Amino acid sequence: MSSAWFHVRPAARDVWLVAEPSHVNSWLVAGRDRAVLVDTGLGVAPIRPVVESVCPLPVDVVNTHRHFDHVGGNGEFPRVLAHPVPTTCGNATERASYLGWMQEVLDAAVAYRELDRRYLHLLSADSDPRPLPDGLERWVDPGPPSGPDPEPLADGQVLDLGDRTLTVLHTPGHSPDSLCLLDDRDGVLFAGDTVNTGPIYAQAPECDLEAFAASTARLAELGPDVALVAMSHFGRGVAEPRYLVDVAEAFDRLVRGDPTVARRPARDCAGDEVSEAVFDACSVYLPAD
Ligand SMILES: [Zn+2]
Ligand SMILES: [Zn+2]
């Protein structure tokens, strides 16, 4: 199912990817009685009608963390749950920078699409960026956050959807409030921004590399409890469980100060200079040298 801005497809049993292609992924997971929408995206277009078109159950929102690209549609839902540790959500300046980034992605996609069609064959409806909706001036400076105050989630808390439970794993590192949800029935790990297949963002002042290493090690230790990793950004929204081990090993090398880790300059989606630590399977953005 597709709207002008979202692309929705089943990704596992009663799990749907709700993609804002090339920007951010939200995930819908349904049990017998209720469903959880893991994050609500950028908020540049209404997400609730898209969710309701694939799932008739009552939907609670769980935010993997409260960065602006994960909470944009919170106000469309009656109940929101999140980890209570305060974090910075993203002010109008950051949103304006991101809007510039969105346009940059769209402009670059014209040439990339042609290369992809001829040689690479990687783009899909999940990842091929779509034209921006109108009216984004208000999105840049939306005023105070709308929507219900989040109910606090704690590490180890279990959410019962009927015939299916989700366990909350508090995984600080990317932000103090980052959490993952583990689907106890089918082993889908909703990883938020703690794990991504593009650069993993550890460069912001509120990022904590030691905590990131501990959190990613914890995810790697879940072992066979994880069947599929569902993530928030970039062209590959799902990964095999082995990827958790690759990411944990990368963070372990970073906190140990491994001098053999390759670094190169890069630029994040706010347009800021960063240093990208490059590993075989993943990369991590760190503060610029
Ligand atoms: Zn984030
Ligand atoms: Zn994000």
Going from N- to C-terminal start, the domains of the chain cover 7-89+142-287
CA angle 188, 194, 200 (to 5 degrees): 125
- How far is it, in rounded angstroms, from Cα 268 to Cα 98? 10
132 Cα to the center of ligand 1, angstroms: 21
Closest listed ligand to the CA of 66? 1
Question: Which position has the higher pLDDT, 133 or 62?
Answer: 62
Residue 137: pLDDT band by 50, 70, 90 thresholds? confident
CA distance linking residue 130 with residue 97, whole number of Å: 18
- Quote the ligand 1 centre to 233 CA distance (angstroms): 9
Cα 204 to Cα 223: distance, rounded to the nearest angstrom = 29
Which residues hold their Cβ within 5 A of ligand 2, which is an ion?
A: 69, 193, 232
| 175 CA from centroid of ligand 1 (Å) | 7
Domain spanning 7-89+142-287 has what CATH number? 3.60.15.10
Q: What is the pLDDT averaged over residues 161-172?
A: 98
Residue 2 has pLDDT above 70, yes or no: no
Which pLDDT value is given to residue 141?
A: 86
Distance 87 CA to ligand 2 centre (A): 13
Over 70: is that where the pLDDT of 41 sits? Answer: yes
Task: Kindly report the average pLDDT of the chain as a whole number.
Answer: 95
**Is it the case that residue 106 has pLDDT exceeding 70?**
yes
Q: d(Cα 144, Cα 219) in Å, to the nearest integer? A: 34
For residues 8 and 26, give the distance between their C-alpha atoms in angstroms, rounded to a whole number. 10
Among 241, 240, 249, smallest CA distance to 283 is for 249
Q: How far apart are CA 8 and CA 27, in angstroms?
A: 9
User: CB-based contacts of 13: which residues, under 8 Å, 6+ apart?
Assistant: 186
Distance (angstroms) between ligand 2 centre and the Cα of 238 equals 15
Q: Output the CA 86–ligand 1 centroid distance in Å.
A: 13
Rounded to the nearest angstrom, the distance between the alpha carbon of 235 and the centre of ligand 2 is 13
pLDDT reading at 1 higher than 70: no
Q: Which residue has the higher pLDDT, 145 or 259?
A: 259
What's the CA-to-centroid distance between 232 and ligand 2, angstroms? 6
The CA 67 to ligand 1 mean position distance, Å, reads 5
Kindly give the distance from the C-alpha atom of residue 150 to the centroid of ligand 2, in angstroms, as a whole number: 18
What is the C-alpha radius of gyration for the chain, rounded to an integer number of angstroms?
Answer: 18
- Give the pLDDT confidence score for residue 112 in this predicted structure: 96
Q: In the numeric block, which tokens belong to residue 30?
A: 């349904």
83 alpha carbon – ligand 1 mean position (Å): 14
- Greater confidence (256 vs 90) lies with 256
How far apart, in whole angstroms, are the C-alpha atoms of residue 128 and residue 182? 28
